[in-house]
């Protein structure tokens, strides 16, 4: 058996044929003829002195030696392909800096981010959480996902609307079987209210909309973020106001309960704002395309 390395073209032909279990499909993938694939494989077998495929008039089947070699070669080519993709965009397009609200990141973005990473493994996504206004001019942020009042109307910054959303009252699994029954919203006067310091107006908006404005909103427990409120509600510490689209999975699993059927539209809407300095940046445009495809259709989410 020769000790020199086989030609890369022959290895690629073998890898494709072994992966597809077909010389014909390998030829289609590599834009070669079936006879060229067969010739490359025969040359490999001749060089190694080992049969890699069993052949009959209908199909080809890997020999045990071919099967073992195939596993190593397929992995090697996968690593080469990934390294090539990274090299092509090194220093230019492989980092994506996102600024988002922590609750949106934890409850919506992070559970889905694996899909984007699987499709684009060469892009390094960096997520920071902040409620401060984004400064595209003096930062390296490529895009910011924000909850804003009303419609986005600044033509200098591209804004993609992601969600309208509704406010609902939530509690833990035992919220409806506590000492003080919660039958109507006014019964919340006997409950501990959980407040997000990032969204201090939500309880007032919801209570006024459902006709329970007499319930005092200056009492209860206060947390830095909505995510903390949701967690506190899960633990049975009280009743929180939630953005319904963020907790659909928790409601489905039963770790959170919608206490009343009332859903109150909020004036806020979620947008993805794009830095004007980075329009056309490949990593950013790939993320934007993926994100918009992840949205429910229509974009307005009904709980």
Structure tokens at 222: 């206060």
Q: How many domains does the chain have?
A: 2
Q: Of 88, 110, 139, which one is at a domain's C-terminal end?
A: 88
* pLDDT value of position 93: 55
Structure token digits, residue 139: 């930062």
The answer to whether 287 and 167 are in contact (CB under 8 A) is no
Q: How far apart are CA 234 and CA 231, in angstroms?
A: 5
Which CATH number is 59's domain given? Answer: 1.10.10.10
Instruction: Examine the domain organization and report whether 100 and 206 are in the same domain.
Output: yes
Clarify whether residues 284 and 167 are in a common domain. yes
187 falls within a domain: yes
pLDDT at 262: 93
Q: Are 14 and 73 in contact (CB under 8 A)?
A: yes
Residue 300: what pLDDT? 39
Residue 91 pLDDT: 52
Residue 174 lies in a domain: yes
Assign residue 3 a region (left: φ > 0; alpha: ψ between -120 and 50; beta: otherwise).
alpha
113: containing domain? 92-303
Q: 69 and 204, same structural domain?
A: no
In this prediction, residue 86 carries a pLDDT of: 62
Q: pLDDT in tens for each of the 303 residues of the chain? A: 455 667 888 899 999 999 888 999 999 989 999 999 999 999 999 998 999 999 887 788 999 999 999 988 888 887 887 776 666 655 555 899 999 998 999 999 999 999 999 999 889 999 998 878 888 888 889 999 988 888 888 888 999 999 887 899 999 988 877 677 888 999 999 899 999 988 888 999 999 999 998 998 888 999 998 999 999 999 999 999 999 888 888 999 999 999 999 999 888 889 999 999 888 888 999 999 999 999 875 433 333
Q: How many other C-beta atoms lie within 10 A of the C-beta of residue 292? A: 13
Closest CA to 221 of 209, 211, 210, 229: 229
Q: Which of 46, 66, 88 is the C-terminal boundary of a domain?
A: 88
Q: Which pair of structure tokens corresponds to residue 167? A: 């406010």
At 29 the three-state DSSP class reads helix
Nearest to 172 by CA among 252, 240, 104, 264: 240
Does a structural domain hold residue 3? no
Per-residue pLDDT at 153: 85
Four-CA torsion 41, 42, 46, 50, nearest 10 degrees: 70
Do 183 and 45 share a structural domain? no
60 and 115 belong to one structural domain? no
Looking at residue 89, its pLDDT comes to 56
What's the CATH number where 142 sits? 3.40.190.290
Phi and psi torsions of 79, nearest 5°: -70, -40
Where helices occur in 49-188 by DSSP H, the ranges are 64-88, 102-104, 110-119
Residue 111 and residue 63 share a domain: no
Q: Cα separations (Å) of 220 from 69, 189, 200, 203?
A: 65, 10, 12, 11
Let me know whether 71 and 154 are in one domain: no
């Amino acid at each position: 058996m020769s000790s020199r390395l086989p030609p890369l073209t022959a290895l690629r032909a073998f890898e494709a044929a072994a992966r597809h279990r077909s010389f014909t499909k390998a030829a289609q993938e590599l834009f070669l003829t079936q006879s060229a694939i067969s010739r490359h494989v025969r040359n490999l077998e001749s060089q190694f002195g080992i049969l890699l495929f069993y052949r009959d008039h209908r199909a080809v089947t890997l020999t045990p030696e071919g099967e073992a070699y195939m596993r190593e070669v397929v992995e090697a080519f996968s690593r080469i392909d990934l390294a090539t993709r990274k090299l092509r965009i090194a220093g230019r397009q492989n980092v994506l800096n996102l600024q988002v609200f922590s609750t949106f990141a934890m409850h919506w973005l992070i559970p889905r981010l694996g899909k984007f990473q699987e499709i684009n493994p060469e892009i390094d996504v960096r997520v920071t959480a902040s409620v401060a206004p984004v400064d595209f001019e003096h930062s390296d942020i490529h895009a910011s996902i924000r909850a804003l009042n009303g419609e986005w109307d600044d033509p200098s910054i591209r804004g993609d609307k992601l969600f309208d959303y509704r406010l609902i009252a939530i509690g833990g699994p035992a919220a409806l079987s506590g000492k003080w029954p919660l039958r109507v919203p006014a019964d919340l006067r006997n409950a501990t209210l959980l407040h997000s310091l990032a969204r201090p107006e939500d309880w007032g908006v919801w209570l006024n909309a459902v006709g329970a404005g007499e319930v005092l909103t200056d009492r209860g427990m206060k947390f830095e973020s909505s995510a903390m409120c949701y967690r506190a509600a899960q633990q049975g510490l009280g009743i929180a106001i939630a953005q319904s689209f963020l907790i659909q999975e928790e409601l489905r699993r039963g770790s959170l309960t919608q206490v009343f059927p009332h859903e109150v539209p909020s004036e806020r809407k979620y947008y993805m704002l794009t830095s004007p300095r980075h329009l056309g940046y490949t990593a950013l445009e790939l993320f934007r395309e993926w994100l918009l495809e992840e949205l429910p259709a229509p974009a307005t989410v009904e709980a």
